[in-house]
Chain A
């Protein structure tokens, strides 16, 4: 079955830039979405349709792509950014798939 690959964890110090990659064969052809999930809470959509930030999402979050990898970038990382981040896209049949998630730790 189709998979989206994310590193299990990323650690950065406050004020630095965090980059969370997501790799998958169909990413060049399908939209990618990103979600932030804090402990005990439902996920929150933070990047829509590759690069769009929904209303209310900080400008410090952005996304970019290169080939079969898309990357979520968080600039000026703050303690409140500590969370799990999931990418989502579709396989060649249009079926949704989530990545394995990346735990962002703010040192």
Chain B
């Protein structure tokens, strides 16, 4: 059974760096075409795609946030890690990780999300 689950701090201070982990099971990030994506959703607002890492370790970032984002994977641990630097209140959101099971495939399996608040 394919599943993903996000983990990380529920509260961070402004200017701090956020580190989120996506632990997944039931699939391999070494399989051709597979990618893990991060998406966030501020309260009451729309989904925003942040970053992706694929089976070849290629990394892709949101144009507007690329200078603050880093994505990496640990295939042996079945984990993907996202860092977002210089956190601000506008970064308060639910952060999701989601799998795409091939090129030109949508995000077919999502984690339940983890809520992050930014406040001093």
Contacts and interface: CB of A to CB of B under 8 A. Distances in A.
Interface of A: 1-2, 31, 33, 35, 37, 42-45, 47-49, 54, 86, 88, 91, 93-101
A35 to B, nearest CB: 7
A54 B52 contact: no
Contacts, number: 63
A33 B106 contact: yes
Nearest to A52: B106
Given A1-B63, A95-B63, A98-B46, A42 B105 contact: no
Contacts of A35: 47, 106-107
Contacts of B98: 42-43
B46 A99 contact: yes
A95 B60 contact: yes
B64 interface: yes
Given A95-B63, A96-B52, A43 B47 contact: yes
